C-alpha cells in the first residue's frame, strides 16, 4: 500500500480487520530521502569547519577574494568582505 495518510485512513475505515503493509519501494525511498537530507546537513557543517580551519591557518589577509566570499556566505556574518574589513581590519 502507498504510505499516504489518506490511503491508510480509508483502508482502516473501510476494512478495519486488515493489516496495513507498506511496499519495499516506498520504505526504501523514504529511507534514502532521510539519509540524503542528513548527509546534506552534515556536509554544510563540515564545510563551515573547513572554512574556519582555512581562516585560522591562513589568516584573513592571505585569503583570496573567492575564499573570503565563501567564508562570508557560509556564515552569513556580513553582507560583503568590505563590511568585514571595515569593522575588524581597521588600519
DSSP output for 4-67 = -HHHHHHHHHH-TTSPP---HHHHHHHHHHHHHHHHHHHHHHHHHHHHHHHHHHH-GGGS-HHH
Indicate the domain borders of the chain. Answer: 1-47, 59-91
Specify the pLDDT at position 42.
87
Residues with Cβ within 8 Å of residue 74, at least 6 apart in sequence:
44, 47, 48, 51
Specify the pLDDT at position 72.
73
- What is the mean pLDDT of each successive set of 10 residues along the chain, which is 91 residues long? 83 89 88 92 81 74 78 65 58 46
Specify the pLDDT at position 91.
46
Amino acid at each position: 500500500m502507498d504510505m499516504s495518510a489518506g490511503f491508510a485512513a480509508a483502508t482502516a475505515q473501510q476494512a478495519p480487520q486488515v493489516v496495513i503493509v507498506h511496499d519495499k519501494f516506498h520504505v526504501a525511498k523514504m529511507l534514502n530521502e532521510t539519509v540524503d537530507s542528513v548527509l546534506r546537513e552534515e556536509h554544510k557543517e563540515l564545510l563551515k569547519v573547513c572554512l574556519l580551519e582555512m581562516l585560522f591557518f591562513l589568516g584573513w589577509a592571505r585569503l583570496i577574494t573567492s575564499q573570503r566570499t565563501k567564508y562570508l556566505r557560509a556564515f552569513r556574518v556580513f553582507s560583503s568582505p568590505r563590511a568585514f574589513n571595515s569593522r575588524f581590519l581597521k588600519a
